[in-house]
């Protein structure tokens, strides 16, 4: 059963009920420079506005998109890309693509022109929908990009090199297209985050998408009365597939543009949101604002907010303990996953397991997990190995990359590249990315463990731990620390705090600087290693 059937079901059962709200408040830049860029790209208008569509309008818009694409020769298996910020048009376009039997290909809105061209070629894209924020990038590669491709502009004032979305769909039928979809049919291509180079194209079928929807609804007990607040970008598997829990339940969701504590809390209050998925930096910012008295919970209506969950990156246990002081009645869940596993949820903590904060959890709905050594044999309980997952949400392959597929998929198991261990109760603890492990003097050092430790220090806003080159030990541990606004911190303070760690885990170099994160909240460690590793080498050469 494809997820498009859920949309058609909701049209029939809940026709006049609101399905989606787009909320774009006036974004005030009150954040640190590290996240300033993300705030600004979320702001597409200087004037606050609110738009909404019902389930019937949502489905009819998707049908018009589907008929338009079919009329332009799009067939089952063709690839259709979306390059847009979150907006009310995003999901109807996505579902319209699926209804044709074509493959939806969401693009990261931070892609450079070069990356847009690369991904369009890699996925062999036939059609590309794009929004007004990308005219400049698209124009710079238009000559190459438009060869054999239809470019569709979603916005006012269509550029000369594209066709206008509204004009194309205006006279198209709002009835469902007569295209039969099967679970094994290809449905979507998602791109890896690209933090280790150009992204890979990850192919999923319709069974994967339905698995994500049913799993999200089951994990978080989403029902018709819930309202989901969606802040992260819809191109990312996490945002979209968390929203699909609302699709499964037939409940409302709010697409929020803006990430300041005031904007988030105001949206929860005014839209009566019950479920909110936050990235670590946004949760941290809310706590800092509460600690400083910049916001007061009494100014908002928050009693209906029942669940806060976090995914996309490791979550410091100290953050959740801090959160529960302000929100003692909140259910909490953390979700682990990859784009290769249809986003978060193949491992999840579970709302009933708050006592296990620090773990990523147990296998999710219809998933299996194992932890293996370099030979593929399962390790003993408590030992560190590579986490492998298996279930109906595993990708079909890396599109047009059989070598990478063979390295990652083995006997139906997805080798995640994440190092983990399991405790005596069967809960899995993420140790680190396999590629991020620091080998210093023959010792394996796992940065996430040190990051979690340092996050508990009262002056630390954010932290990243990386390996820095060292002639004697191969690598030494470096900690890049972002200090909370209005506070001062010294190397001596951090050194003293770190005396609680075993000596070999203590950072050998402390750097006070911003911690860069991508749009899904992941620390951009390759960029940090490149920057500070190069500085280390230059300093060594100067000393020589």
Query: Is 114 contained in some domain?
Result: yes
CA distance 161 to 149: 11
CA distance 480 to 390: 35
Q: How confident is the model over 407-418, as pLDDT tens digits?
A: 999 999 999 988
Please choose, from the candidates 421, 438, 439, the residue with its C-alpha nearest in 3D space to the C-alpha of residue 430. 421
Which of 276, 297, 326 is the endpoint of a domain? 326
Q: What is the mean pLDDT of residues 188-212?
A: 85
State whether 316 and 453 are in the same domain: no
- Band of residue 488 on the pLDDT scale cut at 50, 70, 90: very high
pLDDT of residue 338: 87
Which of 326, 348, 371 is the endpoint of a domain? 326
- Band of residue 536 on the pLDDT scale cut at 50, 70, 90: low
Average pLDDT for the chain: 88
Q: Which residue has the tokens 């205006």?
A: 170
Output the pTM of the full model: 0.81
pLDDT of residue 43: 41
Instruction: Average the pLDDT over each of 41-55, 291-305, 428-442 and give the range with the smallest value.
Output: 41-55
State whether 314 and 441 are in the same domain: no
CA distance 123 to 103: 10
Q: What is the mean pLDDT of residues 337-344?
A: 88
- Band of residue 47 on the pLDDT scale cut at 50, 70, 90: low
Total domains present in the chain: 2
pLDDT of residue 520: 61
Q: What is the mean pLDDT of residues 348-366?
A: 92
Which of 305, 326, 347 is the endpoint of a domain? 326
pLDDT of residue 99: 98
Residue 521 has pLDDT above 50, yes or no: yes
pLDDT of residue 543: 43
Question: What share of the chain has pLDDT > 70, as a percent?
Answer: 90
Q: Which residue has the higher pLDDT, 111 or 175?
A: 175
Cβ proximity of 253 and 20 under 8 Å: yes
Residue 441 has pLDDT above 70, yes or no: no
Query: Is 453 contained in some domain?
Result: yes
Instruction: Average the pLDDT over each of 285-289, 308-312, 478-482, 531-535 and give the range with the smallest value.
Output: 531-535
pLDDT of residue 431: 80
Cβ proximity of 390 and 364 under 8 Å: no
State whether 68 and 193 are in the same domain: yes
Q: What is the mean pLDDT of residues 461-486?
A: 85
Query: Is 244 contained in some domain?
Result: yes
- Band of residue 28 on the pLDDT scale cut at 50, 70, 90: very low
Helix (H, G, I), strand (E, B) or coil at 451: helix
Q: Return the C-alpha torsion angle 359, 360, 366, 372, nearest 10.
A: -80
Query: Is 354 contained in some domain?
Result: no
Q: What secondary structure does DSSP assign to 227-255, as a single string?
A: EEEE-S-TTSHHHHHHHHHHHHHT-EEEE
- Band of residue 39 on the pLDDT scale cut at 50, 70, 90: very low
Query: Is 361 contained in some domain?
Result: no
- Band of residue 524 on the pLDDT scale cut at 50, 70, 90: confident
Residue 91 has pLDDT above 70, yes or no: yes
- Band of residue 214 on the pLDDT scale cut at 50, 70, 90: very high
- Band of residue 435 on the pLDDT scale cut at 50, 70, 90: confident
Query: Is 371 contained in some domain?
Result: no
Query: Is 317 contained in some domain?
Result: yes
Question: What share of the chain has pLDDT > 90, as a percent?
Answer: 65
Residue 46 has pLDDT above 60, yes or no: no
Q: Where do runs of H (alpha helix) occur along 430-499? A: 447-455, 491-497
State whether 154 and 285 are in the same domain: yes
Query: Is 470 contained in some domain?
Result: yes
Kindly state the tokens that stand for 448. Answer: 């996430």
Edge-to-edge order in the sheet of strand 397-398? 163-164, 150-153, 125-130, 79-83, 103-106, 186-191, 201-205, 397-398
Cβ proximity of 154 and 93 under 8 Å: yes
CA distance 498 to 481: 13
CA distance 319 to 357: 10
- The enclosing H or E element of 36 equals helix 33-42
Residue 298 has pLDDT above 90, yes or no: yes
Q: Which residue has the higher pLDDT, 533 or 132?
A: 132
- CATH number of the domain residue 77 falls in: 3.40.50.12780
CA distance 81 to 187: 12
CA distance 400 to 516: 31
State whether 448 and 322 are in the same domain: no
Helix (H, G, I), strand (E, B) or coil at 259: coil
- CATH number of the domain residue 459 falls in: 3.30.300.30
Residue 94 has pLDDT above 80, yes or no: yes
- Band of residue 440 on the pLDDT scale cut at 50, 70, 90: confident
Q: What is the mean pLDDT of residues 283-311?
A: 93
Query: What is the span of the domain harbouring residue 479?
Result: 437-543
Q: What is the mean pLDDT of residues 473-477?
A: 79
Q: How confident is the model over 163-178, as pLDDT tens digits?
A: 999 999 999 999 999 9
Cβ proximity of 8 and 489 under 8 Å: no
Please choose, from the candidates 209, 184, 200, the residue with its C-alpha nearest in 3D space to the C-alpha of residue 393. 209
Q: Encode 250-272: b = buried (16+ Cβ within 10 Å), e = exposed.
A: bbbbbbbbbbbbbbbbbbbbebb
Q: What is the mean pLDDT of residues 215-233?
A: 95
pLDDT of residue 319: 87
State whether 240 and 102 are in the same domain: yes
């Amino acid at each position: 059963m494809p997820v498009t059937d859920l949309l058609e079901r909701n049209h029939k059962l809940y026709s006049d009920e609101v399905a989606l709200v787009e909320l774009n408040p006036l974004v005030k830049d009150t954040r640190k420079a590290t996240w300033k860029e993300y705030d600004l790209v979320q702001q597409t208008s200087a004037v606050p506005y609110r738009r909404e569509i019902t389930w019937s309008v949502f489905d009819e818009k998707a049908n018009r998109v589907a008929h338009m694409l079919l009329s332009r020769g799009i067939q089952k298996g063709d690839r259709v890309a979306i390059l847009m910020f979150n907006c009310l048009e995003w999901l109807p376009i996505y579902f319209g693509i699926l209804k044709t039997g074509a493959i939806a290909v969401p693009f990261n809105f931070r892609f450079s022109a070069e990356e847009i061209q690369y991904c369009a070629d890699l996925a062999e894209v036939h059609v590309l929908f794009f929004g007004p924020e990308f005219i400049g990038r698209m124009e710079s590669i238009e000559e190459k990009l438009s060869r054999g491709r239809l470019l569709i502009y979603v916005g006012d004032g269509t550029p000369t090199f594209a066709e206008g979305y509204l004009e194309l769909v205006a006279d198209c039928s709002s009835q469902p297209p007569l295209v039969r979809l099967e679970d094994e049919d290809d449905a979507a291509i998602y791109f890896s985050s690209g933090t280790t180079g150009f992204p890979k194209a990850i192919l999923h079928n319709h069974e994967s998408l339905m698995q994500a929807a049913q799993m999200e609804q089951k994990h978080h007990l989403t029902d018709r009365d819930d309202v989901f607040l969606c802040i992260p970008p819809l191109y990312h598997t996490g945002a979209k597939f968390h929203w699909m829990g609302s699709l499964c339940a037939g409940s409302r969701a709010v697409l929020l543009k803006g990430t300041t504590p005031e904007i988030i809390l105001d949206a929860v209050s005014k839209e009566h949101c019950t479920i909110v998925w936050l990235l670590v930096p946004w949760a941290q910012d809310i706590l800092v604002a509460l600690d400083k008295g910049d916001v007061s919970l009494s100014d908002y209506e928050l009693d209906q907010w029942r669940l806060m969950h976090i995914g996309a990156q490791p979550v410091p246990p100290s953050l959740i303990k801090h959160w529960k002081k302000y929100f003692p009645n909140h259910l909490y869940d953390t979700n682990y996953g990859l784009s290769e596993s249809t986003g978060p949820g193949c491992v999840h903590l579970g709302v009933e397991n708050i006592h296990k904060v620090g773990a990523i959890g147990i296998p999710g709905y219809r998933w299996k997990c194992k932890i293996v050594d370099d030979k593929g044999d399962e390790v003993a309980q408590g030992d560190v190995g590579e986490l492998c997952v298996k279930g109906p949400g595993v990708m079909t392959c890396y599109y047009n990359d059989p070598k990478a597929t063979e390295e990652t998929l083995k006997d139906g198991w997805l080798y995640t590249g994440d190092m983990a261990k399991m405790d005596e109760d069967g809960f899995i603890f993420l140790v680190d990315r396999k590629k991020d492990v620091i080998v210093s003097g023959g010792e394996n050092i796992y940065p996430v463990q040190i990051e979690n430790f340092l996050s508990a220090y009262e002056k630390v806003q954010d932290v990243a731990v990386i390996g820095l080159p060292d002639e004697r030990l191969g690598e030494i541990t470096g900690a890049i620390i972002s200090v909370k606004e209005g506070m001062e911190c010294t190397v001596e303070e951090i050194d003293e705090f770190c005396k609680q760690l075993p000596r070999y885990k203590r950072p050998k170099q402390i750097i006070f600087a911003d911690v860069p994160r991508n749009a899904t909240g992941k620390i951009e460690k390759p960029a940090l290693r490149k920057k500070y590793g190069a500085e280390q080498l230059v300093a060594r050469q100067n000393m020589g």
